[in-house]
Amino acid sequence: MYRYFGELLTRAAGTVLASADSALPTSTSLLRYRGYSQAVDRDDDPNFFTMVEGFFDRGAAIVEDKLVESLKTRETTEQKKKRVRGILKIIKPCNHVLSVSFPIKKDNGEWEVIEGYRAQHSQHRTPCKGGIRYSMDVSVDEVKALASLMTYKCAVVDVPFGGAKAGVKINPKKYSDNELEKITRRFTIELAKKGFIGPGIDVPAPDMSTGEREMSWIADTFATTMGHYDINAHACVTGKPISQGGIHGRISATGRGVFHGIENFINEAAYMSKLGMCPGFQDKTFVIQGFGNVGLHSMRYLHRFGAKCIGIGEMDGNIWNPNGIDPKELEDYKLANGTIVGFPNSTPYEGNILEADCDILIPAASEKQLTKSNAHKIKAKIIAEGANGPTTPEADRVFLDRNILVIPVSSSRRRSDETPQLPVYTVSLSPLLVSSSLVQDMYLNAGGVTVSYFEWLKNLNHVSYGRLTFKYERDSNYHLLMSVQESLERKFGKHGGAIPIVPTSEFQDRIAGASEKDIVHSGLAFTMERSARQIMRTANKYNLGLDLRTAAYVNAIEKVFQVYSEAGLIFT
């Protein structure tokens, strides 16, 4: 079923341009509308932290008047403005930043001092939530920026967490498994000593170069030390193995989130009409750069719903088949051969796979793949970002000018440089450095944190999803079929024998009841659809047209503001 958001959204894109400063040239008005400034340095690799704060300023400037109007107090208009601006000042900075250094003894007997950071952006909802990454690029600025994005992402998908992020400044490839375990467990202790981890305080998750193994070490360390008397101790971290309290469906959650995010916009007739496309996945072609976890699962679900993958790109080569590539066959081939090169029924693709002719492009490999040097060569109408910051600010500007829909996807990773601190809050639109990599944590990547939320709830409830109702639902479904059969036999008799009741294939798949994975997938799909609806309504409400990034920020700021406003500020 396709949806149509109505003519109001279509008209909004035109009216917002017409209502801009009429004295300005059309190009200048367009830049201002999209959040650009002629005075901004058009650097194709701007500082990450600066960009995050610039986007917050953009969203805050747009939403401020509406927030003032929404206050139902006996204050004067001027007092309401001061209250709104004050709360926005509270929302913007990180509340706490922890920096630690600790020694480890390596396998060769040498000693090394390890640096680590944890930033908690907001406690408007608790616990805080955010991943732990292992990377030499980790810095205070990076974890602060990513923590703030986590706050906004959780707000967008209505997950009741504050934002946080952690990083350990190491290259994990240079350490043995034993050394990595030492580092992980010691970092956990350092966080626990300062109150930066706990089921109701701060709950980490996997991120770059960390996974189930590291999360299991963290849970075990906390549960056997600081959390020894806490029955909920294993809820101190998510992304764990199933045996340690993890949840089914977590591994594919990000890929499914990418799919559901694309689905919600590609089935929206109003957005597709702007791109000159028909709604739905049928007859749509897509290309993926990067056949890792995100690329594989995104390909699976898109293929299952009727889209056709015609190209795959990896570091060692690209393959192409205009008739379509089967994801299962390609997965098996790569497992057997360690590469996609030479896959049967495909030909090598000469040139940049990103510039291939397709409807949907999914860059799911590495950062800064779409730049100002190749943005004008991109032929896709929809770009769904599956990598860490694949699009630079200048490329994003080109895509907006070319009417290409960029759906922000996964978490950002940028090279962090030293940068001066911005003003706490400003309504100026000039520092708006637009980058796709900023709001990637705002929507599609929310599949990960949504399923992490489900895992956290499972740990607190101490029971798997579906366990209490599985058999009851199965028996109820069989009794329903028997009831229908008996009713028909009473009505028409059994002259020719019993009347068989044959369930449809869809009902047969569900007749045994919902498993934990079924419940997780259903909850994720509902969350992504509801969030997409909210972003669309926000874009329409503020006449933002196709500017989904700003719409996501505005949506998040409104929700976080409401929590602060209604909770009250008693200690000021």
Query: Active-site residues: which are they?
Result: 165
Own/partner pairs for 365-368, CB < 8 Å, 24+ apart?
365/289, 365/290, 365/292, 365/295, 365/313, 365/314, 365/315, 365/390, 366/290, 366/390, 367/412, 367/413, 367/414, 367/437, 368/45, 368/392
Strand partners, 130: 204
User: Burial of 96 by CB count in 10 Å (0-12 exposed, 13-18 middle, 19+ buried)?
Assistant: middle
Nearest Cα neighbor of 389 from 46, 159, 147 is: 46
DSSP per-residue string spanning 376-417 = GG---SEEE--SSS-B-HHHHHHHHHTT-EEE--S-------
Burial per residue of 214-244, b for 16 or more beta-carbon CB atoms within 10 angstroms, e otherwise: bbbbbbbbbbeebbeeeebbbbbbbbbeeeb
Residue 118, by phi and psi: left (phi above 0), alpha (psi -120 to 50) or beta? Answer: beta
Residues 524, 156, 529, 357: what is their CA dihedral angle, to the nearest 10 degrees?
A: -100
Please report where in the chains the tokens 């101790």 appear, as a residue. Answer: 233
Question: Which strand (E) or helix (H) includes residue 474?
Answer: helix 470-492
Q: Residue 209, Cβ neighbours under 10 Å: how many?
A: 16
Residue type, 417: D
Give φ, ψ of 283 to 5 degrees: 70, 10
**Preceding amide of 127 cis, omega within 30:** yes
Nearest Cα neighbor of 94 from 21, 153, 165, 160 is: 165
CA distance 348 to 344: 11
Strand partners, 370: 391
